Amino acid sequence: MKQTEVLLQPNPNARIEEFVYEKLDRKAPSRMNNPELLGQYMIDAGNEFGPGTAYGNALIKCGETQKRIGTADRELIQTSAINFLTPLRNFIEGDYKTITKERKLLQNKRLDLDAAKTRLKKAKVAEARAAQLNTSQPEENNIMIWAEEVTKSEQEVRITQSEFDRQAEITRLLLEGISSTHAHHLRCLNDFVEAQMTYYAQCYQYMLDLQKQLGSFPSTFLSNNNQSSTTPVQSVSTPSVLASASASLPSVSNSIVTSGVSELKSSSGSRKARVLYDYDAANSSELSLLADEVITVYSIPGMDSDWLMGERGNQKGKVPITYLELLN
């Protein structure tokens, strides 16, 4: 339970604040979460650079996406708290404490019963010894004393046995309810998993939409200090290829995509590839691309691992792998 709280709210100060407001039965003040803060800073910076500039426009688009992720994060925390954390906390702070208390009482009743049985056993042994001795008047008095002690111990055993049986029944009934509690918590766990699945699916879709918007920018704006334009795009290459496989969550691993490119590079043949996004050639050695067109690609010795040679009719040039989907 504690680690789930850490997952949903990593900031320990925020968790303490929420705990205090909860104990005071007051609503905690609403604050922007980290993705929302980052999004706002990006939007402010983009407006300073100017929405009409490529970099400013890109910052604004990134900021808007970060704020959407922040909203999704807020929904995940709220849903998880209601459907998963609250039922678990109620059980731990309620029924579980009751069960623990009753089990401890049962343990004490068992110890009392064991002690009563031990005293009864000792009394019977002492009575038997007294009966074996001479039948003088003092000895007869001892026999009567031990007989009374046995009677008293037997009564004590009956009382402690009754109390133990009653407590055992109470504890048994409480423990039998654990199975239904497990079933309830299993449903809560499923709700938590579904909330996470929805959250990550939303985030994936938001970033996929953002990548498509950024991919439509001219490649000269994606380059940095005349370096290859593949550097800033490389970190999102996996979702680019996965997007063609599924409109929802990706089910194709990155190793499959990598193996397809590796096979093409290791062979002397060519493959058809569909273009995912528009791409403007940065120089004469590259080939400009249009989204959804199909071109022929192949590899030549010594070529950079992030590039392939592409052909469209009589035109040919280098094309970035991250903009392509290899076709069978």
Question: Predicted confidence band at 252 (pLDDT cuts at 50, 70, 90)?
Answer: very low
Q: What is the pLDDT of residue 301?
A: 83
Instruction: Report residue 15: phi and psi, to 5°.
Output: -65, -40
Q: What is the pLDDT of residue 186?
A: 92
Q: What is the pLDDT of residue 249?
A: 40
What tens digit of pLDDT does each residue of 192-249 get? 999 999 999 999 999 999 998 888 655 544 444 444 444 444 444 444 434 443 444 4
pLDDT greater than 60 at residue 190: yes
Of 295 and 216, which is predicted with more confidence?
295
Question: Predicted confidence band at 270 (pLDDT cuts at 50, 70, 90)?
Answer: confident
* Lowest-pLDDT choice from 59-73, 212-226, 288-302: 212-226
Cβ atoms of residues 322 and 306 within 8 Å: yes
Average pLDDT of span 300-320: 88
- The per-residue pLDDT of the chain, averaged, comes to 81
Cβ atoms of residues 241 and 257 within 8 Å: yes
* Lowest-pLDDT choice from 88-102, 121-135, 255-269, 288-302: 255-269
Q: How many residues are listed for the chain in this entry?
A: 328
Token pair for residue 328? 């069978």
**3-state DSSP call for residue 184?**
helix
Measured CA distances, 313 to 248, 287, 300, 326 (Å): 34, 12, 18, 18
Q: What is the pLDDT of residue 49?
A: 93
pLDDT greater than 90 at residue 181: no
* Lowest-pLDDT choice from 38-52, 78-92, 205-219: 205-219
Question: Predicted confidence band at 261 (pLDDT cuts at 50, 70, 90)?
Answer: low
Q: What residues form DSSP beta bridges with 222?
A: none
- Annotate 191-233 with DSSP letters as a single string: HHHHHHHHHHHHHHHHHHHHHHHHHTS-HHHH-STT--THHHH
Instruction: Give the CB-side neighbour count of residue 115, counting CA atoms within 13 A.
Output: 9
Average pLDDT of span 174-184: 87
As to burial, measured by CB atoms within 10 angstroms (0-12 exposed, 13-18 middle, 19+ buried), residue 196 is middle
- Annotate 62-73 with DSSP letters as a single string: HHHHHHHHHHHH
pLDDT greater than 80 at residue 60: yes
Helix axes of 137-176 and 96-132: crossing angle, nearest 10 degrees: 160
Q: Residue with structure tokens 């343990």?
A: 107
What tens digit of pLDDT does each residue of 122-151 get? 888 887 877 776 555 555 666 677 788 888
DSSP code for 28: P
Question: Predicted confidence band at 266 (pLDDT cuts at 50, 70, 90)?
Answer: low
Q: What is the pLDDT of residue 113?
A: 93
pLDDT greater than 50 at residue 98: yes
Question: Predicted confidence band at 17 (pLDDT cuts at 50, 70, 90)?
Answer: confident
Alpha-carbon span 285 to 303, nearest angstrom: 12
Q: What is the pLDDT of residue 157?
A: 92
**3-state DSSP call for residue 180?**
helix
Q: What is the pLDDT of residue 259?
A: 55
Q: What is the pLDDT of residue 258?
A: 52
- Annotate 260-283 with DSSP letters as a single string: HHHHHHHSS-EEEEEE-S-B--SS
Cβ atoms of residues 51 and 60 within 8 Å: yes
Instruction: Give the CB-side neighbour count of residue 214, counting CA atoms within 13 A.
Output: 28
* Lowest-pLDDT choice from 6-15, 53-62, 208-217: 6-15
Could you count the other beta carbons within 10 Å of the beta carbon of residue 49? 15
The most confident of the ranges 6-15, 33-42, 178-187, 298-307 is: 33-42
Question: Predicted confidence band at 255 (pLDDT cuts at 50, 70, 90)?
Answer: very low
Q: What is the pLDDT of residue 22?
A: 72
Alpha-carbon span 23 to 80, nearest angstrom: 20
